[in-house]
Amino acid sequence: MLMKKILIVVLLLFAGCFINCCTAEIHKTDYSDNSNWLSKPAKIQYPTDVFYIYPTVCTTEDKSNLCLTDNLQMRETAKNVFKLQAEAFDTVANLYAPFYTQYNFRAFEYSNYEKIQRDTINNVQGLSDIYRALDYYFANLNQGRPFILVSHSQGSAIMLVVLSDYMKKHPEYYRNMVAAYVIGYPVTKEYLRSNPHLKFAKKTNDTGVIISYDVQAPDKSGINVLQAKNQLVINPINWSRGQRRIKADKNLGSLDEKTLKVITPGIADAKVNKKLGVIICSTVDTEKYEIKLPKLFGNGSFHGQDFQFYFLNLRENAKVRIDKFKRR
């Protein structure tokens, strides 16, 4: 058992060294250049910020399986996804989002959680981009304001590295974190045990916590590359980890991604499945809303609707946590 623990520590140290030692050999993206930001507000409207890392939007045919920060297809798709996800917070916070190097979605076909974890560490350019963006953000843009971290899918895989490594190295920043919405990617008990400075949300208004969930139909079948053992989940309607089903009429509002209009009350119910660590939604048409990537998610996954289904719930919850943080 002792040798196993030593090996784990060595591997974690090696991974951290790999990230830090290799950045000098790769492109240093300049985040003082506004063109390298997906979102960077010209005027500060709110006393709180959001720093957002977008999900997999790279769908090019490049053999490298990577989209660099100047990839036009990635940039255009990221703009569209930004409206569906990050703008849930646009009435409560100033929105910042850097362009970063990410994997093409095909890199994950028939994959699994463990491999994606390794691939995330191996995306040294992408991690360098995010770290440099954070460095620039905190040095030049944040001005000491409280902030919320928001991410989805591949963005959340990177966000977990940010939380476990970057924030651990920068407690002066971390103490101003209101919460981290790390959505659409497993946050496991093992991850939290390895990072005792982090904690998972337990209720509506706790602060300095990680919030995570992924949504699927009751009859979900087939592969799910983002399924892990012992992953934690919280209900995005009542922000509880209890397993009581919360009906759709309690949902504050869902976003229609075609019209960008909010439907109130929302169309999705939510029930925690602790065994799988996911949210079960039973009130929507599976064929209409499932993500059409069967090589990654099988059938019945609502991974692409994680934000849209609970759009106004995310907005209201961020406001509640911000208010609690200010009182603290």
pLDDT tier at 63, thresholds 50, 70, 90: confident
Provide the CA 123 distance to its chain's centre, in angstroms: 17
Q: What are phi and psi of 30, to 5 degrees?
A: -90, 105
- In angstroms, the CA 251 to CA 261 distance is 15
CA dist list (Å): 207 to 132, 214, 319: 26, 21, 11
Instruction: Give the pair of three-digit tokens for residue 292.
Output: 């059409």
Structure confidence by residue, pLDDT tens digits, 288-311: 999 999 999 999 999 999 999 999
Structure confidence by residue, pLDDT tens digits, 141-153: 999 999 999 999 9
CA dist list (Å): 51 to 39, 213, 300: 9, 19, 30
User: Does 20 have pLDDT greater than 80?
Assistant: no
| Domain definitions of the chain by residue range | 2-327
Q: What is the pLDDT of residue 10?
A: 33
Instruction: Give the pair of three-digit tokens for residue 27.
Output: 């492109």
Sheet of 271-273: strand order equals 271-273, 278-280, 215-221, 299-301
Share of the chain above pLDDT 70, in %: 93
Rounded to 5°, the CA angle 225-228-232 comes to 125
Structure confidence by residue, pLDDT tens digits, 251-293: 999 999 999 999 999 999 999 999 999 999 999 999 999 999 9
Supply the mean pLDDT for the chain: 93
User: Does 16 have pLDDT greater than 90?
Assistant: no
How confident is the model over 159-186, as a mean pLDDT? 98
Q: Which residues contact 121 (CB under 8 A, 6 or more apart)?
A: 15, 18, 19, 127, 161
Share of the chain above pLDDT 90, in %: 90
Three-class DSSP category at 260: coil
Sheet of 147-152: strand order equals 37-39, 94-98, 49-53, 147-152, 177-183, 209-211
Provide the CA 173 distance to its chain's centre, in angstroms: 19
CA dist list (Å): 195 to 124, 127, 160, 165: 21, 19, 10, 9
How confident is the model over 167-179, as a mean pLDDT? 98
How confident is the model over 86-107, as a mean pLDDT? 97
According to DSSP, residue 141 is labeled I
pLDDT tier at 74, thresholds 50, 70, 90: very high
How confident is the model over 188-202, as a mean pLDDT? 98
Q: At what angle do helices 2-22 and 124-136 cross, to 10 degrees?
A: 70
pTM assigned to the model? 0.92
Quickly count: other Cβ atoms within 10 Å of residue 104's Cβ.
21
pLDDT tier at 8, thresholds 50, 70, 90: very low
What kind and span of H or E run contains 2? helix 2-22
Provide the CA 293 distance to its chain's centre, in angstroms: 19
Three-class DSSP category at 287: helix
pLDDT tier at 23, thresholds 50, 70, 90: very low
Q: Are 31 and 142 in contact (CB under 8 A)?
A: no
How confident is the model over 142-171, as a mean pLDDT? 98
User: Does 190 have pLDDT greater than 50?
Assistant: yes
Q: What is the pLDDT of residue 3?
A: 34
User: Does 41 have pLDDT greater than 90?
Assistant: yes
User: Among 186, 151, 161, which residue's Cα sits nearest to residue 52?
Assistant: 151
Q: What is the DSSP string of 198-244?
A: --B--SSS--SEEE---EEEEEEES--TT--TTB----TTT---S--
How confident is the model over 105-119, as a mean pLDDT? 93
Torsion angle in degrees (nearest 10) through CA of 7, 9, 12, 17: -100
User: Does 12 have pLDDT greater than 50?
Assistant: no
